[in-house]
Amino acid sequence: MIGIGVDIGGTFVKVFVMNEHGEIFRQEKMETDYSKGPKFFLQQIADYINKIQKEFADQRVAVGIGAPGDVDNKKGILRYNPNLKFKDVSDWPIARIIKDLTGITPSVANDATLAAWGVYEKELNRQGTNVLVVTLGTGVGGGMIVNRELFQGSNGTAGEIGHTKIADVHNGPLCGCGARGCLEAFVGTIGIKRRVMEAVMDAPESELAKMVEAEKDFKIELVSRAAKKGCPAAKKVWEDTGFYLGIGLANFCLMLDVDTIVLAGGVSGASEYFMPSLRRVLEQQQIQTPFKKLKLITSSNPNIGGIGAAMYAIHQALVHP
Ligand SMILES: [Zn+2]
């Protein structure tokens, strides 16, 4: 059994070819041309799938596709995505087009949802019954394993933890989705950067301010470097990030009582700086039961989206042969 996992990102596409034992045969960053439009884009992915089908002609091939945005997982349609480079993509029937071009009906789901499955299979070895995976980056996504199965909700949108509200929806900070007060507006990279700029204004002599001034191309890891040097302003940015993330996770735990939370994505690399304040928020909850035995861990695997897409495709094919 071969699984092809396709992780459609904002800037490039990652592809993984694996078998049911988790062995990876191919791992590629596909050169894709977004400028030629959505049709050409999917044709490129289909060509790759057809090439792999020929190469592994003696085996059954399943395909999983993770797409950023609002995905109808049952019909394999990308309903809406604000971040893809195609202006005219809404209700994009990815599954039908790929089926027409390759003969394989792919499992299409939200990218963070499939990343959650990747973490569950590859990182946790299916340890845990109810698991939340939060992907921390520009966007804040989430995926859930409930009773050891991927939970996608009634419409395929389950796990949008980034757009749950943790602040005033009229006056809170603006989120990329257009609403105010979302968790993502506080702990997504844009929200973190906003607090960095406020900190720079408040403490222009700080190490953080000097580094921001010196390095024109601002990246979040700069804040970690400043924190490592002991800069109080940088430490405070991470401390606040942990506090806000803690509120979001506490709300989630009170709702779903998961046994494990995995923080993935680029920002999770700064966990040593934000984890203490995050844990404090969880410890301060009045109802302590969901938090007492909660495992809170980080995953640094940057390829978990593509791996998850491949492994979920195999899982689906084995469950529904
Ligand atoms: Zn939002």
Between 88 and 59, name the one with better pLDDT.
59
Q: Where are the domains of the chain?
A: 2-117+303-319, 128-298
CA of 49 to the centre of ligand 1 (A): 34
pLDDT at 36: 84
pLDDT at 321: 76
| For residues 213-224, average pLDDT | 92
Residue 83 has pLDDT above 70, yes or no: no
CA of 131 to the centre of ligand 1 (A): 22
> Using an 8 Å Cβ cutoff, are 182 and 164 in contact?
yes
Render pLDDT for 23-57 as a digit per residue (tens, 0 to 9): 999 999 987 777 888 888 999 999 999 999 999 99
CATH class for the region spanning 128-298? alpha beta
CA of 57 to the centre of ligand 1 (A): 44
User: Radius of gyration (Cα) for the chain, nearest Å?
Assistant: 20
Number of Cβ within 10 Å of residue 319's Cβ equals 8
CA of 164 to the centre of ligand 1 (A): 7
CA of 158 to the centre of ligand 1 (A): 14
CA of 281 to the centre of ligand 1 (A): 22
Read off the pLDDT band of 88 (50, 70, 90).
low
CA of 66 to the centre of ligand 1 (A): 20
d(CA 50, CA 27): 16
| For residues 184-203, average pLDDT | 96
CA dihedral 178, 182, 186, 192 (to 10 degrees): -30
Which H helix or E strand runs over 54?
Answer: helix 38-55
> Using an 8 Å Cβ cutoff, are 133 and 265 in contact?
no
Place of tokens 């940088």: 234
CA of 81 to the centre of ligand 1 (A): 13
In the chain, DSSP assigns E strands to: 2-8, 13-19, 24-30, 61-67, 70-72, 77-80, 90-92, 107-110, 131-136, 140-146, 149-151, 260-264, 295-298
d(CA 12, CA 6): 11
Residue 128 has pLDDT above 90, yes or no: yes
pLDDT at 102: 98
| For residues 264-269, average pLDDT | 94
CA of 253 to the centre of ligand 1 (A): 20
Same fold? 2-117+303-319, 128-298? yes
pLDDT at 11: 74
pLDDT at 68: 87
Q: Where does 2-117+303-319 sit in CATH, by number?
A: 3.30.420.40
Q: How far is CA 125 from CA 29, 94, 264, 284, 320, in A?
A: 25, 30, 16, 31, 21
Residue 86 has pLDDT above 80, yes or no: no
